[in-house]
Amino acid sequence: MKGTGSETATRWVIRGRHLTPGDLAVAAQMVRAFFPHGRWRIAHELAQHWQWRTDHGQFKTRAALAILVAWEQRGYLQLPPSLIPHGPRRSSDSLLPWRPAEPSVAGDLHDYRPLQWELVRSAAQRRHWRMLLAQHHDRGAPGLVGAHLEYFIYSARGDLLGALGWQSAVERLACRDRLVGVSRQPALRAQFLAHAVNQVRWLILRTVRVPHLASAMLSEGLRVLQRDWPQHYGVPLRWVETFVDRTRFSGVSYRAANWLPLGWTRGYAKARGQFV
């Protein structure tokens, strides 16, 4: 679970919020009262009960949902089934093929600039974004919980070039935690994670053959994210990270976009209380 924070025997720090057994009891009551209405309604009611808002006054429903999911994964409560399928998906009979507007895109980068960034806002856009990733990304569509933003990327003339997705940063990452000084310091880690984001998916369609487009997307994507994330979640960004499978990719596009290599991970993640 990304961004779930730390816990003691009777208290938790999840999504930067200090929680007590009393908060868990309220959450369980909300689950019972609004179970037929789904997870989002439960999370919204919980955020309202806590009066948990962003600096812009919006209720932190996504963050409350992340807390609920974290508690469910630890066995404290049971949520209704998610209405949005999570986890990697390669294909499904229910998904119609997604095809770019043109059979191929090739040429010089300047012919396609300025890039157009479309923020995913509606349920229909979100389904299309997941469908695109499910069919064209080798890891499929990601499961997104908590704070996240997704984008479609178009050329200046409207060609669909790819997609990008951001999510709250992973809770524990040894090389990062040592560098920023939050190892074995749950409170400091929680404060740090409130301003940290992970690039969870990045896709350039296979029909696109434009030199230097990859590094341009990565550079511009950061600027767009720095603009949009505070508007949606009320906190500035201080850290952005991602993971590269070095057995398959060199990371040259990231280096060209001024990303810095940080270290090696152990190559597994935690899901439903177990490492995979």
Q: Are 63 and 130 part of one and the same domain?
A: no
Q: State yes or no: pLDDT of 269 exceeds 70.
A: no
Cross-strand bridge partners of residue 163: 152, 203
Q: Are 175 and 259 part of one and the same domain?
A: yes
Q: Does residue 265 contact residue 173 with C-beta atoms inside 8 Å?
A: yes
Q: Are 62 and 130 part of one and the same domain?
A: no
User: pTM value?
Assistant: 0.64
Q: For the chain, what percent of residues have pLDDT higher than 70?
A: 84
* Structural domain count of the chain: 2
Residue 274 to residue 172: CA distance in whole angstroms: 14
Q: How many other β-carbons are positioned within 10 Å of the β-carbon of residue 264?
A: 9
Q: State yes or no: pLDDT of 215 exceeds 70.
A: yes
Q: State yes or no: pLDDT of 51 exceeds 60.
A: yes
Which domain CATH number covers 220?
3.40.630.30
pLDDT value, residue 266: 65
* Strand bridging mode 160-168 / 148-154: antiparallel
pLDDT band at 238 (very low <50, low <70, confident <90, very high): very high
